[in-house]
Each structure stands twice: as structure tokens, then as C-alpha cells.
Amino acid sequence: MNQKLQPLALCLLVSAWPAAAAAGLIVGMIKSDKGKAVSRVRVKAWDKDPNGRKELLGQAITNRRGYYKIRYRDKHWDGLKKNQRFTGNKAVSFANPDVMITVEVYARKRWETIARSRVYRDTDMRKTLHIDLDRVRKKDAYTRRTIYGVIRDHRGRRLRGLTVFAWDKDWGDNVELMGKSRTNRYGRYRIVYRPKRWDGLKHGPSLGVTANPDIFITVVNTRDNRFLGRSIVYKDHPPNEKLNIDLRLAKIHK
């Protein structure tokens, strides 16, 4: 081949090679509540859509210094046409993922989620995203807390088949669902929830507050979702104690 044509042939060969898919990068460090590195935990990166659906971007195990690195490939993460995200009929932005991470510990022969980050909206894949989490405790994977009790009608008879919801009452009128259960044939229910910063506050002696939940329950008819009653709020419930909430419902006038 003519030496003058070799550079041209090389250029044509390179241009004909399929371009690699663009890749995003998420890095960070996981620390304990004492500020120490948390190693050997699994970090998962998710694309969380506005409708609440999550799609896994990638995952990694933290090293002995608590660092992780997750690479993910370009994709229509929101399930839309390329480079479009719609509100109604209007394309408002590119299909960049809304990224969040979760931290998991292997306990009881399965992976238990012990922490999660906020959602980083419309993340630019061309830039490295740093997500650090602190106050992560491995022992939370082994800790389960219980709310239990009996639901009765106005005559004291035990009621079966009702749905009981447990809530954490935050500041103002905000509430957060902690779990739900259904009463058995004896009117008993049992709700198990995991440790979490239920009040969404950074806690410590300097702030004078704790992250213990303010708990109450509501009861609804399972068939038609009709509200039947609620309990009082149990303020700042200690994390190492079970909570018994028995409830007698008022007479229902049909």
C-alpha cells in the first residue's frame, strides 16, 4: 500500500469502529456514627424515577478505607426516547438519571439495607458524582424493633382482618410510614421496623434532640380502606424497647 494512503486508511478504520457507550461514575466514602470507615458493605446506586420506580445502575463493595466506586453505562434510564424527559407533552430535560445510593450489610443470610442517601436529581453523566454517607451502623442490620397490640371494637370484642399502620409523626403535620400489619383471628397485630433517623434530624447532645420516633397507629377496614380509628402519639420512643399499643375503636354508625 502507498505510504501516503496509510494515514487515511487508519483514520477510516478508527472512524468505522463503534463508539463505546458513555459511562457515568459515582464515588464516595461510607463512615460510621463514630467517624470511622465502614468496610465490606455493599453500596448500590439507583435511578429513582418520579413515579417511585427504582432501577439499578450498579453496585460495589467498600474497601478497608470505606471507599466505593460505581460505573454505569448510558441508558434511557427513565424509559423515554433518547435525550428526552417529558412532563405532559413537553420535553424538559435530557434523560439523565436521578441517583440515590443504598448501603447493605449481609446479615441473617441476606442483604439488609441499613442506610440510604437523598436523591440527586438529573445527574450529569459527564461529571463524577460524589455521595458520602456517615452515621452508618452495621449493627442496625441485626436490630429489629416491634410495635404490637390488640384491636377491639367498642364492646371489647377482638377484631380480625383489619389493617394497622404504624407512623412516625415528624415536625408539623408530616408523617412517615414505618410499617403495616393485619390483625389475626385474635385481633392481634405485630409490626417490625428497622432503625432509621425517623425524624430526619441530625442528632446529638449539642442539638438537644434524639432521632427516636414519635409513634402512633391507625386502623382501616381492609376491604374498603375505610378509616376506623387512631391511637395517641407515643413521643420519643426508646429504640431498645418494644411498644405495646392496644386500641379500642369507637362505635361505627352505618
CATH of 18-141, one of 1.10.1200.10, 3.30.450.90, 2.60.40.1120, 3.30.1490.110: 2.60.40.1120
Instruction: pLDDT tens for the chain, 254 residues: list them.
Output: 555 545 544 444 433 334 445 578 999 999 998 899 999 999 999 998 777 778 899 999 999 999 999 999 877 554 454 444 444 544 444 568 899 999 999 887 888 888 889 999 888 888 999 999 998 888 776 677 899 999 999 999 999 999 999 999 877 678 889 999 999 999 999 998 876 655 444 444 334 444 678 899 999 999 999 999 999 999 888 766 889 999 999 876 55
Domain assignments of the chain as residue spans, ordered by start: 18-141, 143-248
Contact call for residues 219 and 249 (beta carbons, < 8 A): yes
**SS3 sequence of 209-235:** ECCCCCEEEEEEECCCCCEEEECCCEC
Would you call 94 helix, strand, or coil by DSSP? coil
| CATH number attached to the domain at 143-248 | 2.60.40.3330
Say if 18-141 and 143-248 have the same CATH topology: yes
Residue 9 parent element (H or E)? helix 6-16
Q: What is the pTM of this model?
A: 0.53
Question: Phi and psi for 227 in degrees, rounded to 5?
Answer: -70, 135
Of the candidates 161, 183, 154, 171, which has an alpha carbon nearest to the alpha carbon of residue 245? 183
